[in-house]
Structure 1
Amino acid sequence: MARPRTINRERVMECAEQLVQRDGAIALTLDAVAREAGITKGGLQYCFGSKDDLITALIDRWITAFDSEVQKHTPPDASPADKARAYVQACGQLDDATRTRIAGTLITLLQSPDHLKKIRDWYANWLTNDVCHSDEARQIRTMIFAAEGAFFLRSFGFITMPDAEWHAAFADIQKLMLPKEAARPSKT
């Protein structure tokens, strides 16, 4: 008797991302993903259940990978500002293929309030902190908005720039955070 074939979930998600990158978000169907991955539609459904479950797995994968990358750039005992700088650094270091894959699949999120909620909750974690209404918090929010805006402008092809200029722009974004002493209003 033949041993049952094991389906590699990571490989299936890579195939789904490649499909979206190559053919657009509209191409993300269970049939197309199964064909791309070289498995049966039944095998795909066994692994992921539904298209929504596959998209949820993709979102979870990106969040985990991005958060892990941010963590690599976050010093021990990091302040909210340190974490924001690490976020900006991680965002600026995503390669073209990753940006395209993420942006293309994010388009599919517009079809599902549940998927949007997952992303909103993730952003809320980044944009809410202990000093929520301070100058520092506003600077953190501005840094994250600038990084995300640049990310989406480049990912959707609205702007093009050489890598050196891209990295310089992200270095400038990181400078938006003033030292704590400079951010405090003077007591005169």
Structure 2
Amino acid sequence: MGTVLQRDAERTRRALLDAAATALRTLGPSVSLDVVALQAGVSKGGLLHHFRSKDELFAGLAGEWMARFDAAVQTHLDPADAEPGRLCRAHIRAAFDDTVTGDDQLWSDPAVLAALLAVPEVLRRARESGVRWRSELSADGLHPDRVLLISRVLDGMWMTELLEGRADLDERHRTRDILLGLTRDTGPMIAAE
């Protein structure tokens, strides 16, 4: 009996996160918990059982998106690639993978993103994820300057697309290929003087 209840709880939580993402995209960050519960087909009490507040629901959305990106990086790890920079290359490929980032209007809407990042727990999770990724990428065998440059270009690309809209496909592919090229050499970017 416990397994059935657990699966129902997981389904309900998933339905709430999906409904919250849809409501945020269509109605904006001022969406009420009542609307989310209604769209998920769950009572408000059921929603509050899983997420005690709107901030907690937003933090759940952020955590789910970060976990999805982490999983995408794992799927982009090339089993035949044993060279330094392997994780960095997978991270770059995931960052440019439209199945991960392309359709997600929730994370590409500046107003929604600003509202989400105003939630302390969302911001804490985002910062924690950034620190973890910098640490993992720094341990990937590339010179720290290469990792720094790649990380900052990815951040800049994401911010540019957030503010200006999606870059054309050729520019995205060229940027991805340049970054991947930077992972093929492990030494410093600039010769020491």
Fold shared per TM-score above 0.5 = yes
SS at match of 1:180: coil
2:106 pairs with 1:101: yes
Which of residues 12, 16, 26 in structure 2 aligns to 1:12?
Answer: 16
Aligned amino acid, residue 168 of structure 1: R
Match of 1:174 among 168, 171, 180: 180
| Unmatched 5+ stretches in structure 2 | none
Is it true that 1:41 corresponds to 2:48 in the alignment?
A: no
Distance 1:157 1:184, change over 3 A: closer
Is the counterpart of residue 88 in structure 1 residue 87 in structure 2? no
Q: Distance in 2 between matches of 1:161 and 1:115?
A: 27
User: For residues 121-163 of structure 1, what are the alpha-carbon distances to aligned partners after superposition, in whole Å with 9 as ceiling and x for unaligned?
Assistant: 110011125958x971121121122112212322x25134333
Partners of 1:138 and 1:158 in 2: how far apart? 28
User: Cα–Cα, structure 1 residues 80 and 62, in superposed 2: closer, same or farther, change >3 Å?
Assistant: farther
* Contact persistence 1:88–1:170 (CA under 8 A): yes
Does residue 148 (structure 1) correspond to residue 152 (structure 2)? The answer is: no
Q: TM-score, normalised by structure 1?
A: 0.78
1:68 deviates by 0.8
State whether residues 139 and 177 of structure 1, in contact with CA within 8 Å, keep that contact through their aligned partners in structure 2: yes
Gaps of 5+ in 1: none
Aligned to 1:30: 33
Count residues with an aligned counterpart: 179
Paired with 1:84 and 1:64, the residues of 2 have a C-alpha distance of 17
C-alpha displacement of 1:30: 0.9
Q: Runs ≥4 in structure 1, deviation > 6 angstroms?
A: none
Partner residue, 1:113: 120
Tell me if structure 1 keeps the 8 A contact 2:85–2:184. no
- Percent sequence identity over matched residues? 24
Residues 143 and 187 in structure 2, CA contact (< 8 A), matched pair in contact too: no
Structure 1 residues 106 and 79, CA gap change in structure 2 (3 angstroms): farther
Asked whether 1:64 is paired with 2:64, we answer: no
Distance of aligned partners of 1:123 and 1:165 in 2 relative to their CA distance in 1, 3 Å threshold = same
Aligned CA distance change for structure 1 residues 33 and 88 (closer, same or farther; 3 Å): same
Q: Residue deviations 1:90-128, cap 9 Å, x none?
A: 011134322x22234532233222321111111001112
Question: Cα–Cα, structure 1 residues 169 and 130, in superposed 2: closer, same or farther, change >3 Å?
Answer: closer
TM-score by length of 2: 0.76
**Change beyond 3 A, Cα 1:20–1:66:** same
Q: CA deviation at 1:80?
A: 6.3
Aligned to 1:163: 169
Contact 1:153 1:159 in 2 (8 A): yes
What displacement does 1:17 show?
A: 1.0
1:152/1:19 CA distance change after superposition, 3 Å: farther
